[in-house]
Amino acid sequence: MVKTSDGSIPRYYVDSLSMDFYLRPAREVRAVFSTNNGALPARTLSHTPDTATDRQVYLWCAEDIQNHANSVRKKHWNLMKSMPQPTCWEDLYDYFDCVDLFHHGALNLWNLVCHLVHENKMIRDNLIHGISFEVGMWCDEWLARNQNKTRLRDFSDWGNVLGLFNGSELEEIRQLDPFSLEILRTALAHRQHQLAGQLGLHPPVYPGNTAAAQLHQSNMQNWLGK
């Protein structure tokens, strides 16, 4: 955020967008948030408001953005959990109607959408890391059972990783989705290489063995593998 000459963050900004942005949208206004996913009609501005010229709009602070983001996420999670990063002002039409865009301020709603996208990525990344870690822990527990090291050493059909397991073991992992099964496959292949004594595949030493380092490397499934 650009600061003022005295170093403070401005509380208002001048809306420099043309009124055509609000009066004559250049593409379809889906406005899934404003319309509650089509349950309400998208509102329009029929004329230029008296306040439009050199209009100053209150600039949402970080707390404002977070409060609005939490409200949107709670109400519209299914609509926004895979929302893409906006690339132009017109992308805001996908989420807000022209009344909301004008009265809340396009810049504020742009910042809101960008914040939601950023949070979504954090949630998605943390979920992936959490799944990876859980799969890795299961692999280590499975490997510690009788004869499983031998089974893993001798296994070669990596195109069908489920062929490594017996009936009761398959029951344990039957709910894994394809993404998690791929993590399972790579985790077991890594441990097979470790059993074969391949260099560079043993657990790292500090600070490479910290959670932060493994998160950075997207290697949670192999974090504590031995």
pLDDT per residue as tens digits for the range 58-67: 999 988 999 8
Distances (CA, A) of 75 to 40, 105, 116, 126, 209: 15, 21, 13, 22, 39
| Structure letter (DSSP) for residue 121 | H
Can you give the pLDDT of all 226 residues of the chain as single tens digits? 444 455 566 688 888 899 999 999 999 999 999 999 999 999 999 877 766 667 889 999 988 999 899 889 889 988 988 899 999 999 999 999 999 999 999 999 999 999 999 888 887 787 888 888 889 989 999 999 989 999 999 999 999 999 999 999 999 998 899 989 999 999 999 999 989 886 555 666 667 767 667 767 777 777 776 5
H-type alpha helices, the chain: 20-23, 62-80, 98-104, 106-143, 148-154, 167-173, 178-195, 211-217
CA–CA–CA angle 123, 120, 114 (5° rounding):
145
| Distance (Å, whole) CA 117 – CA 87 | 12
Question: What residue segments make up the domains of the chain, in order of their start?
Answer: 12-122, 125-222
pTM over 0.85: no
| Distance (Å, whole) CA 64 – CA 108 | 9
**First vs last C-alpha separation in the chain:** 46
| Distance (Å, whole) CA 112 – CA 118 | 10
